[in-house]
Structure 1
Amino acid sequence: MLKKYCAVLFVSLMAAALAACGADKAATTANGSSTSPAVAQEAGGKPAANPANATAESRTIQYLGKDYTVPAVADRIVITGSVESMEDALVLGVKPVGAMTTGGKFAPMFAEITEGTVGIGEKTQPDIEAILKLKPDVILASTKFPAETIEKLNKVATTIPVSHISTDWEANLNLLAELAGKQDKAKQVLQTYKEQVQELKEKIGPIFKDKKVLAIRVRAGSTFIYPESVFFNPSLYADLGAEAPAEVKQAKAQHLISLEKLSEMNPDYLFVQFAESENKDTPRVFEELQNNPIWKSINAVKNGNLFVNIVDPVAQGGTAYSKVAFLKAVKDSGIQQTK
Structure 2
Amino acid sequence: MKTQSLFIAMLAIWIVLLTACGGTAGNSRQSSVPESKEGSAKSSTGSSGEGSSASFPRTVTDATGEVTIQKQPKKVALVHWGLSDVMLTFDLDTVAITLPFTAVQSVLKTDVYKPYVYKHREIAIVGENTGVNMEAVLAYEPDLIIAGSSTNKNQLGQLGQIAQTIVIDEAQTNVFEDWKAVMTQFGRILGQEENAKAFVAAFDQQTQEAKAKLAGVSGTVVFVQVREKNMWLSSPTTLSLYYAGLGLKPPEAPMMKEGGQLSLEGLSQLNPDHLFLGHFNYEDPALPAVTDEWKKSEVWKQLKAVQQGQTYPVNGQLALGFGPIGKAYGVDAIVKALKQP
Deviation digits for residues 264-310 of structure 1, max 9, x if unmatched? 1112222121123999996253332333322222222222221111x
Q: Which has the higher contact order (CA 8 A, sep 6+)?
A: 2
Q: Which amino acid aligns with 2:186?
A: L
Partner residue, 1:306:
311
Partner residue, 1:39:
none
Is the alpha carbon distance of 1:331 and 1:228 closer, same or farther for their aligned partners in structure 2, counting shifts above 3 Å?
A: closer
Partner residue, 1:204:
214
Residue 154 of structure 1 and its aligned partner are, at CA, apart by: 4.0
Q: Map residues 84-233 of structure 1 onto 2, 5 A cutoff.
A: 85-94=83-92, 96-101=94-99, 102-104=101-103, 106=106, 107-109=108-110, 110=113, 111-112=117-118, 115-142=121-148, 145=151, 147-156=153-162, 157-161=164-168, 165-208=175-218, 211-230=219-238, 233=239
**Partners in 2 of 1:249 and 1:326 — Cα distance?**
21
**Partners in 1 of 2:249 and 2:70 — Cα distance?**
44
Partner residue, 2:245:
239
Partner residue, 2:60:
61
Q: In 2, are the aligned partners of 1:220 and 1:278 still within 8 Å (CA)?
A: no
Q: Which amino acid aligns with 1:140?
A: I
Is the alpha carbon distance of 1:86 and 1:63 closer, same or farther for their aligned partners in structure 2, counting shifts above 3 Å?
A: same
Partner residue, 2:42:
none
Partner residue, 2:19:
none
- Unaligned runs of at least 5 residues, structure 1: 1-56
Residue 222 of structure 1 and its aligned partner are, at CA, apart by: 1.0
Q: Which amino acid aligns with 1:91?
A: T
Partner residue, 2:333:
329
Is the alpha carbon distance of 1:329 and 1:249 closer, same or farther for their aligned partners in structure 2, counting shifts above 3 Å?
A: same
Q: In 1, are the aligned partners of 2:274 and 2:305 still within 8 Å (CA)?
A: yes
**Partners in 2 of 1:89 and 1:189 — Cα distance?**
12
Residue 145 of structure 1 and its aligned partner are, at CA, apart by: 1.8
Residue 66 of structure 1 and its aligned partner are, at CA, apart by: 6.8
Q: In 2, are the aligned partners of 1:221 and 1:279 still within 8 Å (CA)?
A: no
Partner residue, 1:271:
276
**Partners in 1 of 2:294 and 2:210 — Cα distance?**
31
Is the alpha carbon distance of 1:271 and 1:147 closer, same or farther for their aligned partners in structure 2, counting shifts above 3 Å?
A: same
What is the Cα-based RMSD across aligned positions, in Å? 3.5
Residue 122 of structure 1 and its aligned partner are, at CA, apart by: 1.7
**Partners in 1 of 2:273 and 2:167 — Cα distance?**
40
Q: Which amino acid aligns with 1:90?
A: L
Residue 216 of structure 1 and its aligned partner are, at CA, apart by: 1.0
Partner residue, 1:260:
265
**Partners in 2 of 1:243 and 1:140 — Cα distance?**
38
Residue 258 of structure 1 and its aligned partner are, at CA, apart by: 1.2
Q: In 1, are the aligned partners of 2:187 and 2:196 still within 8 Å (CA)?
A: yes
Q: Map residues 17-36 of structure 1 onto 2, 5 A cutoff.
A: none
Residue 146 of structure 1 and its aligned partner are, at CA, apart by: 5.7
Partner residue, 1:294:
299
Residue 81 of structure 1 and its aligned partner are, at CA, apart by: 3.6
Q: Which amino acid aligns with 1:196?
A: Q
Larger Rg computed on CA atoms? 1
- Unaligned runs of at least 5 residues, structure 2: 1-55
Q: In 2, are the aligned partners of 1:80 and 1:139 still within 8 Å (CA)?
A: yes
**Partners in 1 of 2:63 and 2:216 — Cα distance?**
35
What percent of counterpart residues are identical? 23
Deviation digits for residues 194-235 of structure 1, max 9, x if unmatched? 233223323324424xx33221112242111234443xx122
SS in 2 for 1:236: coil
The structure that is helix-richer by fraction is 1
**Partners in 2 of 1:307 and 1:64 — Cα distance?**
41
SS in 1 for 2:305: helix
SS in 2 for 1:91: coil
Q: In 2, are the aligned partners of 1:70 and 1:137 still within 8 Å (CA)?
A: no
Q: Which amino acid aligns with 2:89?
A: V
SS in 1 for 2:178: helix
Is the alpha carbon distance of 1:141 and 1:287 closer, same or farther for their aligned partners in structure 2, counting shifts above 3 Å?
A: farther
Partner residue, 1:46:
none
**Partners in 2 of 1:278 and 1:142 — Cα distance?**
29
